[in-house]
Amino acid sequence: MILLIIGLPGWAEIVLVLFVGLLLFGRRLPEVGRSLGKTIVEFKKGIREVENEVKVASQEPTKREPALPAQDNAAKDKVADEPTSD
């Protein structure tokens, strides 16, 4: 909404911003550009990884929990077969 009031920057404003950037960063401008590019690439890679994780998670069927916990029947049989000492 604020852009409608102020308006988009024209060519003069862009040139002014570039000039100020050149004054501030000088010789380091290529280095700043490279680091900014690497940051953008890493950000996009992270976004892609998150999107892939969401896609995989949404495609997995939901696993239902059993109503009762599974018990080892062999262990139950051993306890039942042991003689009781009376």
| 31-50: pLDDT as tens digits | 888 999 999 999 999 999 99
pLDDT recorded at residue 22: 86
Record the pTM.
0.45
Write b or e for each residue in 2-26: b if 16 or more Cβ atoms lie within 10 A of its Cβ, otherwise e.
Answer: eeeeeeeeeeeeeeeeeeeeeeeee
- Averaged pLDDT for residues 65-84: 56
